[in-house]
Structures are given as structure tokens and as C-alpha cells.
Amino acid sequence: MTTPNNGDTVTVDYVLKRGDGQVVGNTEEVGPQEIQLGGGQIFPQIEQALTGMKVGDQQTVAIPSADAFGPRREELIMDLPRANLPPEPAPQPGMALQAQAPDGNPMTLFIVEVGEEAVKVDGNHPLAGEDVTFELTLRDIKQAA
């Protein structure tokens, strides 16, 4: 059996867990994922694990928060005037908003609190500050041409 190399496309199933073991994502919800190795699409630790696997192999990869989604940054929690939001749909906690970061890149803000005049939003990734673990199963390898 062969193992994948940079440039190959692999199909994987995964279960993503927080450091406390809580499942926060998996391919049962989104379907198997195709990843081109060497393309920077995933964490380097996962690419490294996949390059040593054969079809059917399973591996658990733990990634500390600093190497995963980074630390939580308090400066990314802010109040936005409700007047700056579209009238519909009404803002609700957990709702995602698209915004433009100071560097011009798009960013997602999550509403954490709704007030009369403003909403509190959090621009951190939901897993920022969390150690994460991926349980991987390699399903297929398509070798680069």
C-alpha cells in the first residue's frame, strides 16, 4: 500500500474535539473532506500525520491552541451600534455577521449579546484559545499527475 505525498489529494473523515473532549465538528455533518497535501489547506500537523498514513489508517493529532486557532484576543470583542446592522433579520446571540477587518480582509463576527442600542460581537474564532484534537481516518488517496 502507498502513502500520500505532497500534491496528492486525500479523502479523510475526521472528528474534531476541544481539549475537554467535547466534539465540535465531524464529517458525519459535512461529509468526507478532500485535501490537497502541500497546499496549505489544513494545519501542518495534520498534513504531516496524513503523509505517513495508508488508506484505512486512523490517527489522533493533538494541536495546542497556539498552533491551532491562536489565543483569544480581547480586542476582537466589541460593541456595534444596532443602527449599523441591517434591520432584518433581528440580531440574535450566536448569529454570524460578515465584516471587513482593518487590513481589508473579510472577517466573521459572532453576536454574543444583544442590547437596546448595541450588540456585543466577538471576532475570535470560536475555538480560539482552545487546544484541539483531530481523530483522522484516511479514506482515499488520489496521486498527483
Parse the chain into domains and list their residue ranges: 9-69+127-142, 74-122
CATH class of the 9-69+127-142 domain in this structure? alpha beta
As given in the structure block, the three cell numbers for residue 92 are 440574535
Say whether pLDDT at 105 is over 80: yes
User: pTM, whole model, 2 decimals?
Assistant: 0.80
Fold of 74-122: Thrombin, subunit H (2.40.10)
- At 85 the pLDDT is 86
Long-range contacts of 49-53 (CB under 8 A, 24+ apart): 49/136, 50/4, 50/10, 50/12, 50/136, 50/138, 51/3, 51/4, 51/5, 51/6, 52/3, 53/3, 53/4, 53/136, 53/138
> Which amino acid does the sequence have at 115?
G
Provide Rg for the chain, Cα atoms. 19
- Residue pair 122/76 in contact by the 8 Å Cβ criterion: yes
Collect all residues with Cβ–Cβ distance below 8 Å to 30 and sequence separation of at least 6.
none
As given in the structure block, the three cell numbers for residue 39 are 497546499
- At 45 the pLDDT is 95
- The band of 84, judged by pLDDT with boundaries at 50, 70 and 90, is confident
- The band of 56, judged by pLDDT with boundaries at 50, 70 and 90, is very high
As given in the structure block, the three cell numbers for residue 95 are 448569529
- The pLDDT > 70 percentage for the chain reads 99
